[in-house]
Amino acid sequence: MRSAYFKVYKAPGNKRINDKMAGKKTVGFAAGIALILLLCSFGVAMATGKKPGTPRPKIVNIVNFIRLLEPRDAAITEDVLYQTVVKQVAIMKKYNLPGTFLLQYDALMDARYQKLLAGLPKDSFEIGGWWEIPQPLVEKAGLKWRGRYPWDWRANIGFSTGYTPAEREKLIDVYMADFKKVFGYYPQSVASWFIDAHSLNYMYQKYHIVASANCKDQYGTDGYTLWGGYWNQAYYPSKINSYMPAQHAQNQIPVPIFRMLGSDPIRQYDTGISSDRQGVITLEPVYPKAGGSQEWVDWFFRSFTGDEPLGFNYTQAGQENSFTWDAMAKGFEIQMPLIAKLRAEGKLRVETLGQSGLWFKKNYKVTPATTFAVTKDMAGSDLKTIWFNSRFYRINMLWEGGALRIRDIHLFDENKPDKYTKQVAASNECDFFTLPVVDGYIWSKPGQFAGMRVKALIDGQEILLKGGNPQFTNVGTTGVHISWPLTTINGYLQMDLNERTINIKLVSNKPCNWYLDLDTAPGTKLPFNKVNLKNVNCSFDGIDYKLNAAKGTFSEPANGAVLRLKPQTNIISLNLGDTKAL
């Protein structure tokens, strides 16, 4: 349940949205470099058997999940919630769109939902489980209900994290048995804002689910923090941490977890800095400046289909019935015809969650490398971004005001357990984290945005390098090449993001003393214990890890930055594939 339920969140204004990038400079040297790089990218693509420009899949799941009751508002009756689902079904049928309906246990046992959903065409609609824990399920499993209401959304009551592993298995067995009584089969898909690894693995081993989904990355919203994970698309989780991508097949739960809600790849990350929770800027149709806005929705799908991803692109449309049809109708009526139109044009495909899970399992034995890029923002903004994810790390780059800010790098370690795999949540909140190297949200304050920036010493002065529009080129199936033309100096910054490494090189016709500086807001608690020449010793959430430079050197500069990374033979190369390496 989204925290913005009673008051729809309005994203704060961002003055940076109107920043203008520095003017472009066209020079013969830069043009020559661009041609060479284009030819190189073509050659790499041919060598890997991939035709340049071959479209990657863009997959949309329309997922609506269903609760029987809403204890927070007397005006939202069981009938209001039921009629919301009726309207969702009707609009999806109108546009011949397939989709997935996920049932919380109390709704599963309601005769109206049973009749409505059992009557849907099985070739286009999927019925699955929504894994929030209401009172009837707890009591049928022989456990004591501790909630304030028949459904209580707190992490230690309404989610599997609030129960011991043995109790979780009892809850799952009851749900699955009753689901099969109603529909005649076990669900292929079970999703929730978060599901612990023990429950997920039990569902896979005993009931053979093929897909799951969890909440987008968020900080504090609803009391739930999921931060630093595989940012979008889908991943195979570690057997001991459902939020952490596994690095090896033997250590993963072979159920892909898709990231829900369709985050704004530019604005969602920074919203709510220095507050105890983020706002919501997503495809959810109830938000008037995001999923309920024609302008925002058009932009989101233009980028989703037009900016070619690495691997595949993915988003989840749809909405929980707790928001009611009146609140979501406008957004649905904007999104559904557009999704149908883009499908008819061959620009995306619409699947059930289970279908996407089976496709993922067929195509990927381990978590793949993927990107979500934006080369053109909404009107009035020239921000650009790329998210890169692999089974080893994620990175986000944001271009603002003509400058590059690497605003996020998190490492993944399948050996880091989450606290809920064996333990029970002790409070009404929960959190899942990965291993931070750069955190442009938590390490920032309003007006002081943390991140790694590209700087140089020119004529004795330290300056921020600026440039024009970055170019993103996929390289095979595991990498992306970024070429950023500079305007401060004649040259390009070339960046290669691969499954295990990040390589950065400055290409210019004259030497340049350049480096990366990590700036954070003053007083920030950082994970860096010791800065060595070739690595940085880090610890976070009880785990020790290292940031390793295959090329380049680390230092602690005197200019106020907390960390500097200087090139070696004009190259910076980070090895992110082994967090334990010396």
3-state SS record for 39-98: HHHHHHHHHCCCCCCCCCCEEEEEEEEECCCCCCCCCCCHHHHHHHHHHHHHHHHHCCCC
State the amino acid at position 108 in one-letter form.
L
Q: Looking at the structure, do residues 335 and 481 belong to the same domain, yes or no?
A: no
Question: Does residue 33 carry a pLDDT above 70?
Answer: no
The token duo for 73 is: 């508002």
Q: Are residues 448 and 459 in the same domain?
A: yes
Q: Residue 244 above 90 pLDDT?
A: yes
Q: What is the domain extent for residue 474?
A: 15-52+369-575
Phi first, then psi: give them for residue 355, nearest 5 degrees. -60, -40
Q: Which residue has the higher pLDDT, 11 or 77?
A: 77
Shared domain for 376 and 514, answered yes or no, is yes
Contacts of 206 by beta carbon, 8 Å cutoff, 6+ apart: 172, 176
Spatial contact of 387 and 410, defined as CB atoms under 8 Å apart: no
Same domain, 395 and 298: no
502-518 confidence digits (pLDDT tens):
999 999 888 889 999 99
Q: Residue 2's pLDDT is what?
A: 52
522, two tokens: 């003053």
Question: Which neighbouring-strand residues pair with 483?
Answer: 471, 494
Q: What percent of the chain has pLDDT over 70?
A: 90
- Please report, to the nearest 10 degrees, the dihedral formed by the alpha carbons of residues 493, 515, 564, 374 taken in order: -20
Rounded Cα distance, 235 and 561, in Å? 34
Q: What angle do CA 90, 91, 96 make, to 5 degrees?
A: 95
Q: Clarify whether residues 199 and 280 are in a common domain.
A: yes
Percent of the chain with pLDDT over 90: 82
Task: Provide the domain count of the chain.
Answer: 2
Cα separation, 287 vs 334, in Å, equals 12
Q: Collapsing DSSP states into helix, strand and coil, what is residue 123? A: coil
* 315 and 285 Cβ atoms separated by less than 8 Å: no
Q: With 50 as the cut, is the pLDDT of residue 38 above it?
A: no
pLDDT of residue 270: 92
Kindly report whether the global pTM for this prediction surpasses the value 0.85.
yes
Confidence band for 460, pLDDT divided at 50, 70 and 90: confident
Q: Is the pLDDT of residue 41 over 60?
A: no
Q: Are residues 220 and 261 located together in one domain of the fold?
A: yes
What per-residue confidence (pLDDT) applies to 491? 92
Name the DSSP class of 478.
T
The CATH number linked to 257 is 3.20.20.510
Q: Is residue 284 assigned to a domain?
A: yes
Strands 501-508 and 513-519: unpaired
376 and 508 in one domain?
Answer: yes
Does the pLDDT at position 250 exceed 50?
Answer: yes
pLDDT class of 580 with cuts at 50, 70, 90:
low
- 532-560 pLDDT, tens digit per residue, is 999 999 999 989 999 999 999 999 998 88
What pLDDT does residue 582 have?
34
192 contacts: CB under 8 Å, gap ≥ 6: 130, 131, 132, 159, 160, 213, 214
Average per-residue pLDDT in the chain? 89
Report residue 54's pLDDT band, with 50, 70 and 90 as the boundaries. Answer: low
pLDDT at 288: 95
The pLDDT assigned to 560 comes to: 83
371 DSSP β-pair partners = 388
**CA distance linking residue 443 with residue 579, whole number of Å:** 21
Q: Is the pLDDT of residue 527 over 80?
A: yes
Q: Are residues 350 and 418 in the same domain?
A: no
- Over 70: is that where the pLDDT of 377 sits? yes
Which range scores top for mean pLDDT: 7-21, 86-100, 211-225, 409-423?
86-100
Residue 404 pLDDT grade (very low, low, confident, very high; cuts 50, 70, 90): very high
Q: Are residues 303 and 442 in the same domain?
A: no
Q: Which is nearest to 279 in space by CA: 60, 9, 508?
A: 9
Mark whether 321 and 386 lie in a shared domain.
no
- Is 356 a member of any domain? yes
For residue 18, the model assigns a pLDDT of 31
Query: Are 389 and 243 found together in one domain?
Result: no
Tokens matching residue 487: 């305007």
Residue 1 resides in a domain: no
Last-in-domain residue among 331, 363, 395: 363
pLDDT band at 386 (very low <50, low <70, confident <90, very high): very high
Q: Is residue 3 part of a domain?
A: no
Look at 50-64, 293-307, 406-420 and tell me which has the smallest mean pLDDT: 50-64
Residues 393 and 295 reside in one and the same domain: no
- Residue 580: inside a domain: no
User: Which pLDDT tens digit goes with each residue over 308-366?
Assistant: 999 999 999 999 999 999 999 999 999 999 999 999 999 999 999 999 999 999 999 99
pLDDT at 19 over 90: no
What's the confidence (pLDDT) of residue 26?
Answer: 34
* Residues ≥6 apart with Cβ < 8 Å to 555: 531, 533, 563, 564, 566
Residue finishing a domain among 363, 381, 413? 363
**What are the structure tokens assigned to 580, written together?**
């334990």
Q: 513 lies in a domain? A: yes
129-158 average pLDDT score: 95
Kindly indicate the confidence band of residue 53, based on its pLDDT and cuts at 50, 70 and 90.
Answer: low
- Domain assignment present for residue 8? The answer is no
The residue ranking higher by pLDDT, 54 or 296, is 296
Interhelix angle 78-94/325-344, nearest 10 degrees: 20
Residue 6 lies in a domain: no
Give first-to-last CA distance, the chain, whole Å.
Answer: 44
Which of these three, 363, 383, 416, is where a domain ends? Answer: 363
The helix or strand, by DSSP H or E, that contains position 242, with its residue range, turns out to be strand 241-245
